[in-house]
Amino acid sequence: MTSSSDYKLSSLAEYPELTPGEVSRKFLKFLVSLDSADDLSVAAVSQGLGLPLKRTISDGYAFRIVLPESGWSYGVDYLELARMTKKTLSLDFANKTAGQDATPVCEVGLNDFVSELKRAGYSGGPEYGEIGQLENYSFRKGKVDVLIREWGVPLSRDGAATRACVESVSVHSAE
């Protein structure tokens, strides 16, 4: 499902079925199904995710959607270069304005990713910095490493609790 056309940003109107939640579920399902780093090929990624990956100028593949009127975008990148020994697949959510409410891209949250990865046999968990701050979540199964970065949805005006959302998930073939 890779395309010979060059990479460009897409809109939700072009792919209405590929909502942030649906892309997250596809990505998580692919992670759960990974048996080895050999499964991190562009063909396997493209087939497993069912996304129209397009070649980028950096010789990788990508697919990205911009949500209208929210500033949010989300997408998948795959990079495997001859000079690199690692293959990298990533899912990320971004907003051009810092501090925006992540609810539009948080249908599948951090806890969903963590529990499904553990259920699929990944080991690991949160990693903390020198002063005890959460840096990321790191998981491994065989020779597949998964790194998850989170952000919380800002508190609502009524002071409701934040929900842990995913900022990015990167998958690497381990050495």
The lowest-confidence range among 25-39, 49-63, 93-107 is: 93-107
Integer Cα distance of 104 and 31 in angstroms: 22
Whether the pLDDT of residue 3 is over 70: the answer is no
The sign of the torsion formed by the CA atoms of 140, 51, 19, 97 equals: positive
pLDDT at 168: 96
pTM confidence score? 0.89
Model confidence band, residue 163 (pLDDT cutoffs 50, 70, 90):
confident
- Mean pLDDT computed over every residue of the chain: 87
Percent of the chain with pLDDT over 70: 86
Integer Cα distance of 113 and 29 in angstroms: 10
* For residues 135-145, average pLDDT: 93
